[in-house]
Structure 1
Amino acid sequence: MIYIFDGAMGTMLQNAGLPPGYCPELWNQEQPAVITAIHKSYIDSGSDIIETNTFGANRIKLTHYGLEEKVALLNTAAVQAARAACGPATKIAGSVGPTGKLIVPLGDLSFDDAYNVFFEQISALDQAGVDMILIETIIDIQEMRAALLAAKAASKKPVICQMSFGADERTVTGTDPVTATIILEAMGADIIGVNCSLGPAQLLPIVEKIAQTTNCPISVQANAGMPSLINKQTVFPMQPEEMGHWAKKLVAAGARYVGGCCGTTPHHIKSIYQAVKHLSLSDLPTVQLAKKFTALTSRSKTIYLGADHPTVIIGERINPTGRKQLAADIASGQFISVKKEALSQIRAGAQLLDVNMGVPGIDQAKAMQYAIQELSMLVDVPLVIDTTDVNALEAGLKAYPGRALINSVSAEPERLESFLPLAKKYGAAILCLPISPAGVPKTAQDRLVVIQEIIHKAFEIGLKPGDFVLDALILTAAADARAGLEALATLKLYRQHLGYPTTMGLSNISFGLPRRDIINATFCAMALDAGLDAPILNPYDPLMQQTLAASALLLGNDPSGRSYSVNYAPTSQSEERAVPLTPKNIIEQIHLAIVSGEKEAVVPLVEQALREGHGSIEISEQALTTAMNKVGIAFGNGQCFLPQVLLAAESMRAAFLTIKKELPAHATTSLGTIILATVKGDIHDLGKNIVAALLENNGFTVIDLGKDISPEKIVEKALEHKADIVGLCALMTTTMPQIDHTIAALKAAGCSAQTIVGGAVLTQEYANQANADSYAANGVDAVTIAKNFMADKAQ
C-alpha cells in the first residue's frame, strides 16, 4: 500500500493570517480551529497521514518566543487540533524538527541536552496520542541519532527518520544517503526517508540510493521545486500535475510514503494521491537485500566488510599498551599523539581505526568520549571502539556520529549482558571474540561453538546478520606451534558455517620472535587465502603493505593489477612504499597541520617558524592562506566536509593569533568587517553561525546580530560599523522575501556594503532577483566571496 502524507504547514498558516515572526505553534492553543481546518483540507485531498503543527515545538526553539515552559501544552494542543480533523482511517504523525543547534564538537549543544530536548517533546506527543513519530528536516546525523534514541525511549510508536540533503546529495555536515540509512536502520528506525531542501527531481536519486541500502519502508516529502522571487513574494514553481508525475517516479524508485514539503498545497497532495494511491505493489519493483556484509560508517563514509568486498585494513596503533609517550599523551589530555597516529595510519592505508584508551588510573569514559569526538572531526574513516570498560564503551558510542564496531564481545556472561544491549541501542556492530568462561578454546571447532553462542545471544537481544565481525583469535606461535594453523582453520570454519566478515590481530602471531615483520606478512597472506576480511595490523610496515597489495592481485580483488602497478611499478626511487614523512620545511609543516586540522600542533610550529626568522607575512601567505585555499578546493570537490573545514579553520585561527602577538600594536590584522544576520521573522541561525565561525577563523571581524533581525536594525549596524560586507540568511520560505526588503533598505540608506545571501532554500536565481551582490551556497563559498571582494576593494 502507498501512504499519502500531507503538504506544507507554514505556507498555509501564513495564508490564514499568521503574522510574520509569530510563533506558529502558539496557534495550536490560540487558533486551534485554523489548524484543524488546514489538516482537514489535506485529508480531503487524500492524505492518509497528517503531521502535527509541532515542527518547532521543542524547548530550544520555543525559548526564542519565551514559551519554553509550554512544550507539553503546545504539543498536546497540536495533537488535539489534528485529531479533531481525523476520521478513524487517518493517522497522526507527531512532527519533530531540529533544535537549530549543532551538537558538540561541531557546536555547543551536548548530546545529552539534545536527547533531553527531544525526549521532552516526543513524550508529550506520545502521551497526547499520536500514531507515529516523524523526525524531519534534520541536517546532522548526530542530531538525528539523539532524536531517534529519545523517540525509542519515550514512545513505542513507529519512528520515521527523514534527513535533508543538498544538491550534492550530502547533509550540511557531510553525510550521504547511504551512510545515513545504514546508521538509522541499525539504530532501529522503522521508516527512513528524506524531506525538504530539494524538489522531487533532485530527491529521486537519493530515494534510489536509500532503496539500494535498506529493506525498511522509505518516505519522501519533496518541495514544490526550487523557490523564486516574484513580485516580492516567494513562489515555488512546480504545479500540482507535475508533482503527481514525479510522485510516480518516487514510488517506482522505492518510496512507500509520499507527501509534500515547502510550497506544496492540498492541490499538490490531491495530484500525488491521484497518481500513486491506487498503484498495485505487485506491479512495482521490489528488492529484498541479503546482508552478506557488515557495514561500518563514519559521519561521511561507509566501509563494507565481507567476502564480496576488498580487504579492509584496521589500524592498530591508537593503543597505549607498551607505548609510554602515547599513554602520557592520553593521561595528560593533550591527544596530540593520538591525532598524529590517526592521520598517519590513514595516509599509510588504514580504512578503519581501532581506538583504545586503556591507560591505568585515568577516567577511561571521559578519555574515550573526547577521543571519539576529536577523531570524528579529524578523520573520515569509521572507528573501532576498543575497551573492556562498559562506561567507556557507552561514552564512545554516544559521542560517535556513525556506526562503530565494538572491540570486543566474548561469551563471558558479564560481557554479553553489558555490551550487547549497548550495541543494540546505538546500532553498533560487534567484534565477536571466541573466549568463554572456560577460557581460550584451543581448536577451531571449539572456537566456532563459542562464536555461535555469542551470535545466538545477540539474536535474542535483537541484533541481525549484518551486525557481526568474527575474530579467529591468534595466539603466539612461540608458545603454541599450532597457533597459526588453528587460526587459519577457524577462518575457514567461520566462512563455511556462518559467512560473516572476519578479523584478527595479526601481530599476535609473532610475539617474542625476531623479525616479526616477516612472520606477520607471511601469515597475513595465508590468512587472506583462508578467508580473512579485515586484518588488524600496523599499516606502517612496508612488507605488510607489499603483501596486502600482492594478495589483492592474486585473490582477484585488484582487476588487471591496476592498484598494484600504480604503487609498485619501477621508478627512479625505491619500490617500497614508505610511511608519509613529515615535511622538513617548517612552512610546509604549518601548511600540513592546518590542512589536517591539527589545531594543538600548529601553534608550536608557528612559534618555531618565528624563532627561525620567518616573517609573519611569509607564514600567513605561504602556509595559512595556501592551506585554507587547499581545504576550500577539497570541500568544493566533495573530498572533505564541514567538520574538516571547521577544524582547519580553527587551526588557522590558532596560527593567526600566534602570529598576531608578534605584530606591532598599530598593525591591522582584520581582513574586513562583516555584519551577519538572520532576517526578520526567521529564528534559524545554525547556518549563519557556521559562516560566522569560518569568517572569523579566516581573519574577518564579524558582528553577528543574531536571528529575527529587522531591516532597520541591519541598516543601522551596517552604517555604525562601516561594514564592508553584509551577510543575510533565511531558512524559512515564508521569510525569504525579507532578504529582498533588507537589501532594498540598505541601498535606500546609501550603504555601500557588499551583500552576500544564503540559506537552505535560497538559490542563485533568487539572489539575483533580490538584487544581492553575491550568493553563497555554503560557508566556504562565503569566505571565498568575502576574500575576493576585499582583495578587489584593496586594488
Structure 2
Amino acid sequence: MNVKELLQTKPVILDGAMGTVLQKRGLAVPGALPEVLSITKANELVSIHRSYIESGAQIIYANTFGANSYKAKDSGYTVAELVSAGIKNAKKAALTATRPPFFPEEQENAFVALDIGPIGRLMQPNGDMTENEAYLMFQEVMSAGVKAGADCIVLETMTDLLEIKTALLAAKELDCSSLTDGKIDEIPVLCTMTFEDSGRTFVGVTPAAAAITLSALGADAIGMNCSLGPKQVFPIVKELCAYTNKPVIVKPNAGLPDPVTNDYDIDAFEFAQVMKDLIPLGVSVYGGCCGTTFQFITELSKVIHNTFKDNVSFGDINTSKDCNSVLKKQEQKSFLCSFGKVVTVDRPLITGERINPTGKKLFKEALVNHNIDYVLKQGLAQIEAGADILDVNVGVPGLDEVKTLVEVVTALQSVSDIPLQLDSSDPKALEAALRIYSGKPLVNSVNGEKKSLDSILPLVKKYGAAVVCLTLDENGIPQTAEERFAIAKRIVERADSLGISRSDLYVDCLTLTVSAEQNQAVETLKALRMVKENLGVKTTLGVSNISFGLPNRELITRTFLTMALETGLDLAIINPNKEAMSGTIKAFNVLHSYDESSRSYVEAYKDWKPLSKSDAIIGTSAEQTQGHGTSQITDSAIANDSVLFVAVQAGLKMDAKNATKQLIAQDVAPMEIVEKHLIPALDAVGTDFETGRLFLPQLIQSASAAQESFSVIRSALDSAGKKSVSKGTIVIATVKGDVHDIGKNIVKVLLQNYGYNVIDCGKNVPPQTIVDAVIKYDCKLCGLSALMTTTLSSMQETINLIHEQKPDCKVMVGGAVLTEDYAKTIQADFYGKDAQSSVAYANLVFGNHQS
C-alpha cells in the first residue's frame, strides 16, 4: 500500500502538533528554528513521532515545516541537512513503533510526510517574493525530502492561494525518478490552508476557491488546518467538501488558546467527539494541529474508526444527504475562480472584452508605455458595469507578450477578485500567466489545428484551467454548422483523452460579420445549438463582430445576442459598458428564472442612471468606451469624490501620482492633499476591508497608490526646503522569541500611508531594544506583534518596561494568539484585531497632531 491507496480507504488518521509537544518537553527555544532539533535532539524527535504512530496516526509529519532557505538562513545548517534529519527521524519511528490496532492490514508502517509550511514572505502582488523565488525554495526542500525517503508531501498552514499553487507545481514538476533511483515517478501531495473565523484566509482566499483550484491542479487531498478549533470549522469544511471530490482533510487546533496559560479550551475526549460530527459532511482524513497531543490522536483514532465501522461506509459519506448539493452536480457545473471569488456558470454570464488592444490606439500606446493603470481602469469599468469574467489580451506587435501578460494579470488580481480569461495565441505567454494566476482561469483559446491541440490542451490540463474551443482548423472557419460541430467534437474528444472535464470546455462557434456573409449568423446559431445538445459542454461567443460595417450596430448586436442566448449561449463576450448589451443578459436571466426573485437585476438597476459609474471611472463618454478612452481619471469620476480619492480607492498608482502632481501645480497645500484627499480615500478602503467588501490584495494596492502620492508630496516639500509631512512617529516590532513579521510589515505600510513615520525594529527584538527606540524617538505610540503563545511573556515584559521608562507612550498589540481580554491583562492600551485597526489607534493617540 502507498499513500494514494491509503487515501482511498476509510478513514485516515494524521498526527497532532509537533510544536506543542516540543514546548511541553521543554525543547522549544523561543526565536530558534524548531527544525534544528531534528539534528540536536534526534532521539526526542523519534520518540515524539513513535508516540503519535502508536496513538493511531497513519501518516506522520516530519519536523520540516520551516526548513526552507529563508527561515533557515541563520540556523547554521543547510536545508538538505535539516530536511534529511527530519525525514530520517520520522522513518526510524515508523520502523520501530508498535502497530496500532486500527491500521488497515495492507499498511505495514506509518507513512512519513515531508511537511512544508509557508516560506515566511508575502508573494507578489501582496509582497515582494516572486513566483520563481518561491518555486526554487520549495523545490530545494522537496528534492531533499524525496531523496531522504518521504512517502508524500504535505503543504500546510498556507494563506495565499498562489503560494500553495506554486508549491504544488514544484512538487508535480519534481524529478522524483532521479532522486529515488527510479523507485517512484511522482509523489502524492496533500494540501491544507488555514482559514480564519471570517471564513477566509488571511489574504482573502475562500474554501471554495481553494478546493476548486487545488483539486484542478491535481492535489491528492485538500483541506484545512490550524487557526480554529473543531467547533469553529464546520462552515469551512462544508464549503470545502462541496467543491471537491478529493479526500478532504481536517486538522484543527485543540479549540482556542488561552494566552495566559498557553492551554487550549477543549480536551482530547471533546475534540474527538466534535470531530466525529464532521463525518456526514464528507471528511475522510482527520488529525490535529496546535494544542493537540498523543492523547488527542488516541481518542480521535478510536472514535473516528468506530464511527466509520459502525454507521456508514466511505462511499456513503461522499454522497451523504448533508453534503452541499453543489458536490452532487459537479459534473454538470463549471467553476471559474480567482483567489476569493467563485463564478458558477449555471446561467448566461458576461465576459468583458475591453482589455484588448485590437483596434484601440490608446490601449496599444498604454501597453507600449507601460501604463498599467489604463488597463486596470478598463477592467474596473467593466466590473462596475456587470462583467462576471474579464478577457485579458495584451498582444501588440513588438511587445514582450510573456512579460506583459504576466504583469497585467498580476496587477488585475491586486485590484479585483473577478476571474480572468487569459487570451493569447502564444503558448509561452499563456503558460507564464497560468503559473502566476491565483485561482482557476479560462484560457482563450484552443482550436482544431493539430499544433494548437498539441500545445494548448496539455497546458489546460496541467494548470487545472478551463478553455475556449474555437471551431476552426487548418482550413479556416467552415461555412456550415455541421463542419463547425465536427471540429468542436474533435476538440472535445481530444480533451477527453487528456482527462479534461467537459464542464471545463467552452465551445465558440464563431461570429462572422453579417454585412459580408449574411447567412453565417444562422449557421453560427445552428452550430451552437448542435454543440449544446450533443456534446455536454459550455458555449461562448464574441458577439460584437456580427454588426461590423452596418449602421446602428447596437440594434443588430443586441438582437443577435438575444437569439444566441435563447439558443443556449453560456458566456457572452461583450462590452458590458454598453447598457443595451449587459442589460439584455440581465433581463434574459430574469425572464428565464435564472435570477431568483430578480435579485441581481434589482441590485444592478436600483440606482440606474443614463450615465453609469463605469463610464465615470475611466473618464469617458459612451462613445469613447468603444476604444477611445482617456488615460487619466477625470473630475467626473464619482460625484463629490476627487480624482486622487478615486485613484487611491481603486489602487491606481500612476493616476494617484499624476493627480497629486496636478494638485500641487494648483498650489494646494500638502496637508490639505493629505487630509482632504488621501486620508478619506484610505478610510473608505479601510471600511470596505473591515466589512469584507475587499481583502488584503486590494488593501495593499490602495496603500501603494497612496504611497505614490506621498512620494510626490515629499519631493515637493524637499524642493521647497520644507519639512516633510508627518503625523507622528511610531515604533513597531515583533517581540523577542518570535520570528514572524508579515503582519507587522503590513501594519507598517498602512501607517506610513496615513502619514506616520514608522520605526521598524524588526523581529525577535529584545524588550530593552524596543524601549530604547521608543525613548530615542520620543514616541507616543508603540506597536508590538506576536504570533506564538510562547512569546507572549516577552510581549508583557516589553510593555512593563515601556510603562516604567516611557510612561507617556501608549502600546498597541496584535497577533494571531492575542485576544482583547488578554491585551488588557498585560496592560496593553489597545488591541489590534487587524492591520487597519492600528490606524484608528494611531489617529486616536495623535489626534490632529501635525509636524
Fold equivalence (TM over 0.5): yes
Which whole-Å CA distance do the structure 2 matches of 1:86 and 1:377 have between them?
Answer: 45
Q: 1:498 to 1:788 in 2, by over 3 A?
A: farther
Q: CA deviation at 1:613?
A: 4.5
1:621, distance to aligned residue in structure 2 (A): 2.3
- 1:564–1:224 CA distance, 2 compared to 1 (3 A): closer
2:293 pairs with 1:250: no
**Residue 188 to residue 754, structure 1, CA distance change in 2 (3 Å):** same
Distance (whole Å) between structure 2 residues aligned to residue 562 and residue 744 of structure 1: 55
Taking the aligned partners of 2:277 and 2:205, their CA distance within structure 1 comes to 24
Q: Quick check: 2:558–2:580 contact (8 Å CA) kept in 1? A: yes
Shift of 1:769: 2.7
Equivalent position to 1:302, from 338, 342, 345: 342
1:36 to 20, 39, 46: 46
Question: What is the Cα deviation at residue 113 of structure 1?
Answer: 1.0
Which one of the candidate residues 292, 296, 318 is aligned to 1:286? 318
CA distance in 2 between counterparts of 1:628 and 1:539 reads 29
TM-fit CA distance, 1:666: 4.6
Give the alignment of 1:399-438 within 5 angstroms.
399-438=436-475
Question: In terms of mean alpha carbon deviation, does 769-778 or 49-58 score higher?
Answer: 769-778
Segment drifting more, 781-790 vs 367-376: 781-790
Shift of 1:585: 6.0
TM-score, structure 2 as length reference: 0.89
Give the TM-score of the pair, scaled to structure 1.
0.95
CA RMSD of aligned residues (A): 2.2
Change (3 A) 1:576 1:790: closer
Of 679, 683, 700, which residue of structure 1 is paired with 2:739?
A: 683
Q: Distance in 2 between matches of 1:57 and 1:578?
A: 48
How many Å separate the matches in 1 of 2:785 and 2:497? 50
SS at match of 1:430: strand
Paired letter, 2:813: V
Q: How far off is 1:511 after superposition? A: 1.8
- CA spacing shift, 1:577–1:684, aligned 2, 3 Å: closer
Q: Does 1:554 align with 2:591?
A: yes
User: After superposition, where does 1:295-374 map in structure 2 within 5 Å?
Assistant: 295-305=335-345, 309-374=346-411
- Partner of 1:470: helix, strand, or coil? strand
Give the Cα separation in 2 of the matches to 1:311 and 1:623: 40
Is the Cα contact below 8 Å between 1:670 and 1:701 reproduced in 2? yes
Alpha-carbon deviations, 1:113-143, whole Å to 9, x = none? 1001101111211121122111000111111
Q: Give 2:92's match in structure 1, choosing from 84, 97, 103.
A: 84
Report the Cα offset of residue 565 of structure 1.
5.2
Aligned-partner SS, 2:655: helix
| 18, 25, 39: which one aligns with 1:16 | 25
| Matched-pair contact (CA < 8 Å) for 1:227–1:766 | no
The structural deviation recorded for 1:341 is 0.7
Alignment match, 2:297: 269
Q: CA deviation at 1:559?
A: 3.8
Report whether the alignment pairs 1:386 with 2:442: no
1:95-494 to 2 correspondence within 5 Å? 95-154=115-174, 155=176, 156-230=186-260, 233-280=261-308, 281-282=312-313, 285-287=317-319, 289=328, 290-305=330-345, 309-494=346-531
Q: Is the 8 A contact 2:731 2:760 kept in 1?
A: yes
Supply the AA of the counterpart residue of 1:138: M
Number of aligned residue pairs: 787
Letter of the 1:7 counterpart: G
The 2-side partners of 1:635 and 1:278 are apart by 44
Partner amino acid for 2:696?
L
Change (3 A) 1:694 1:100: same
Supply the distance in 2 between the matched residues of 1:83 and 1:4 (Cα, whole angstroms): 17
User: Mean alpha-carbon deviation: is it higher for 215-224 or for 122-131?
Assistant: 122-131
Q: Match for 1:621: what amino acid?
A: E
Displacement of 1:576 after TM fit?
Answer: 8.8
**Matching residue of 2:843:** 787
Q: Is the 8 A contact 1:348 1:580 kept in 2?
A: no
| Aligned match for 2:657, one of 603, 611, 615 | 603
Shift in CA distance, 64/291, structure 1 to aligned 2, threshold 3 Å: farther
Instruction: Select the residue among 818, 821, 829 that pairs with 1:773.
Output: 829
Is the alpha carbon distance of 1:255 and 1:48 closer, same or farther for their aligned partners in structure 2, counting shifts above 3 Å? same
Q: Matched residues in 2 for 1:504 and 1:490: separation?
A: 12
Structure 1: stretches of 5+ with no match in the other structure: none
Amino acid at match of 2:653: K
CA gap of 1:503–1:585, structure 2 versus 1, over 3 A, is closer
State the match for 1:4 in structure 2.
13
The reply on whether 1:584 has 2:635 as its aligned counterpart is: yes
The 1:431–1:700 alpha-carbon spacing in structure 2 relative to 1, beyond 3 Å, is same
Q: 1:39 to 1:180 in 2, by over 3 A?
A: same
CA, structure 1 residues 418+570, in 2 after alignment: closer, same or farther (shift >3 Å)?
closer
Give the Cα–Cα distance (whole angstroms) in 2 for the partners of residues 392 and 331 of structure 1: 17
Identity across matched positions, percent = 39
* CA distance in structure 2 between the partners assigned to 1:436 and 1:673 by the alignment: 65
Measure, in 1, the Cα distance between the counterparts of 2:599 and 2:194. Answer: 37
Aligned equivalents of 2:506 and 2:554: distance in 1? Answer: 25
1:378 and 1:643 in contact (8 A); partners too: yes
The corresponding residue for 2:104 is none
The alpha-carbon deviation at position 752 of structure 1 amounts to 3.1
Post-superposition shift, 1:438? 2.6
Would you say the 8 A contact 1:314–1:351 is kept in 2?
Answer: yes
Q: Distance in 1 between matches of 2:151 and 2:792?
A: 33
Given residue 370 of structure 2, which amino acid in structure 1 is its aligned partner? G
Greater Cα offset, 525-534 or 713-722: 713-722
Q: Which segments of structure 1 move beyond 6 Å, counting only runs of 4 or more?
A: 575-578, 792-795
Structure 2's unaligned 5+ residue stretches are 1-9, 96-107, 177-185, 320-326, 620-633
Residue 539 (structure 1) shift: 1.1
CA distance in structure 1 between the aligned counterparts of 2:155 and 2:842, rounded to whole angstroms:
36
Structure 2 counterparts to residues 641-656 of structure 1, below 5 A: 641-656=695-710
Give 3-state SS (helix, strand or coil) of 2:642's partner.
helix
Counterpart secondary structure, 1:63: coil
Of 721, 730, 739, which aligns to 2:795? 739
Aligned to 2:3: none
Q: Distance in 2 between matches of 1:687 and 1:397?
A: 28
**1:545 Cα deviation after fit:** 3.0
Change in Cα spacing, 1:710 to 1:555, as seen in structure 2 (3 Å) is: same
Moved more, 767-776 or 662-671: 662-671
| Alignment equivalent of 1:674, drawn from 712, 727, 730 | 730
